[in-house]
Amino acid sequence: MITLLTDFVQELRSAGVPVSMVEAIDAMESLAHVDLADRIQFKETLRATLVKNSRHEAAFDVAFEVYFANRVPPLESGPGEDKHFTANQLDQEGWMGGTSGLSVESLIETLFEAMAGQNFDQLRNAARRAVDQLAGMEPGRPVGGTYYLYRTLRQLDVEALEQRLLEMFLAEVDPEDALAVRLAKEDAKRAVEQLREELKDEIRRRLVADRGHQAVAKTLRQPSVEEIDLMHATRTDLANIEHVIEPLTRKLAVRLARRRRLSKKGRLDFRRTVRASLATGGVPVEPRFKTVRPHRPEIFLLCDISGSMATFARFTLQFTYAMATQFSRLRAFVFVDAVDEVTDFFRPGVDFGEALARIGTEADVVWLDGHSDYGHAFEQFLVKYGKELTPRTTLIVAGDARNNYRDPRAQNLGEIADAVEAVYWLNPEPRAYWDSGDSVMVRYAGSCEQVFEVRNLKQLELFVETVTEHRPSRGRNRSTHMKGEPMNLVAPRGNR
């Protein structure tokens, strides 16, 4: 049991769930006080001691089902049927892959009766028979569980099953009762979803028996929402990211505001301390400190919205605008090979999706051919908005610095950097790809306070904390470097 729990904790860590050594020990100690035969108690005890964030519960559930799958009894063999075994008996009895005595039509009817009557035991047994007969699983075959699930569902024709269930449920309610009709539809969907889950569980049990816990867990492992690559996110990933951005930024804003309140006490004010000590005979009973007046930065956000950068620009804009309360002023600019300001598109009360749609149709961001041209964009930005830059301004550039082999005109970004407090660059590409092909990242890095690799929400959150709290050095001799790289890789701005 200890070895299994240790492997389970290691899998949680690999899946992005932070579990400390102390928490792992607490989980093992807590199991001494629950009934290990009670699966619900066992699972919830581990959840309570190992999971600290609701966003990690999905990863916990997947890992738990792999490492602590239900042990099910063998299928009963009816007259004329071959005997089959559970996934837990594979290593002793052999692989489940025989031919069941039930026809596909009879199997579908059995599943339909189980779902219609909400007989979960019957549904579970029928799902196991369906996998046994229809999935075509073979030991040692390097095929994922999704393929086996697809083969099974296709032959069961679950869409037709759901339609039959819906017709049966609707026949039992008043068609004029909108609520009853809606509940009937939800019941039909829920029953089919329960069938899917039973099939997935059975397939997973068999894969674990054939390949082992670690191999199956690795194939099912998914990154947490904060670690999804923004450049290659699927539609489902994008929906999950949008769902988590608002609470994430709200939490971050509260944390930053608390830091600002706690940092009001500055260095010791020696003169005021001595003056105050005269009232206590020269003893400095109450030291006096200088008042710190940290200012909130004025942010100019400049985003590349060309085809390859559209998704990343979307979430950079959304995340930064959600953090607008931490900035004294926030202005947004977008570009491809020309620059246009879109601050008014994000005025208070405007739906973010509508603002993005307006950017796509109204923003004047194409100058020549609609391919990224950072050099011309920086030159135009300097001409159109250079007079509005102040020493209180922080410029954030979001882009991959891929300039389509055009003149980077790095001196334009240098002039912008001289006029503002700091320039930060967010690059969504892996650091290993920088300066490869048409990337000119190193040409621009010398004008930046810091260059960040920002490929996911976790890195974006870290950047916002840095830009809100960091006090950049002023003057042309300050050292600038790429975050995480040796200082001598990029020359200071004063040495350009």
Give residue-wise pLDDT tens across range 108-154. 888 888 888 888 888 888 888 888 888 877 776 766 677 788 888 88
* 33 & 100 share domain: no
Say if CB 75 and CB 84 are below 8 A apart.
yes
Domain assignment of residue 185, yes or no:
yes
Last residue of a domain, one of 200, 222, 244: 222
> For 343-401, what is each residue's pLDDT tens digit?
888 776 677 777 778 887 888 888 877 789 999 999 999 999 999 999 888 899 999 99
Last residue of a domain, one of 171, 203, 222: 222
Q: If we measure between CA atoms, which residue out of 145, 13, 178 comes closest to residue 69?
A: 145
Would you say the pTM of this structure is higher than 0.75? no
Domain assignment of residue 311, yes or no:
yes
Distances (CA, A) of 130 to 97, 111, 152, 196: 11, 9, 7, 11
* 10 & 149 share domain: no
Q: Which residue has the tokens 């005109």?
A: 409
Q: What is the DSSP letter of 489?
A: G
For residue 481, what pLDDT is reported?
A: 39
Among 23-32, 35-44, 313-322, whose mean pLDDT is lowest? 313-322
Compute the mean pLDDT over every residue in the chain, rounded to the nearest whole number.
79
Residues in the chain: 496
Edge-to-edge, what's the strand order for the sheet holding 422-427? Answer: 339-341, 329-335, 298-304, 393-398, 422-427, 450-453, 481-482
Higher per-residue confidence, 475 vs 334: 334
Number of domains the chain contains: 3
* 132 & 163 share domain: yes
Domain assignment of residue 232, yes or no:
no
Higher per-residue confidence, 70 vs 202: 202
* 115 & 204 share domain: yes
* 134 & 62 share domain: no
* 39 & 119 share domain: no
Q: Containing domain of residue 118, as a range?
A: 87-222
* 328 & 364 share domain: yes
Q: Which residue has the tokens 């400095």?
A: 284
* 127 & 169 share domain: yes
Q: Is residue 254's pLDDT more than 50?
A: yes
* 182 & 45 share domain: no
Compute the distance between CA of residue 125 and CA of residue 70 in angstroms, rounded to an integer.
13
Among residues of the chain, what percentage have pLDDT more than 90?
20
* 436 & 486 share domain: yes
Mean pLDDT of the region 316-334: 79
Domain assignment of residue 292, yes or no:
no
Mean pLDDT is highest, among 2-6, 181-185, 259-263, 295-299, for: 181-185
Mean pLDDT is highest, among 122-131, 160-169, 314-323, 407-416, for: 407-416
Higher per-residue confidence, 88 vs 311: 311
Q: What is the CATH number of the domain that holds 434?
A: 3.40.50.410
Tell me how many degrees the CA angle 224-228-234 measures, rounded to the nearest 5.
115
* 467 & 335 share domain: yes
Residue 49: both structure tokens together? 């001691």
Domain assignment of residue 243, yes or no:
no
Q: Which residue has the tokens 């947004």?
A: 332
Q: What is the DSSP letter of 434?
A: T
182: how many CB neighbours lie within 10 A of its CB? 11
Residue type, 198: E
For residue 255, what pLDDT is reported?
A: 67
* 163 & 63 share domain: no
Compute the distance between CA of residue 343 and CA of residue 334 in angstroms, rounded to an integer.
10
For residue 482, what pLDDT is reported?
A: 40
Residue 315 contacts by C-beta under 8 Å, 6 or more apart in sequence? 230, 241, 245, 457, 460
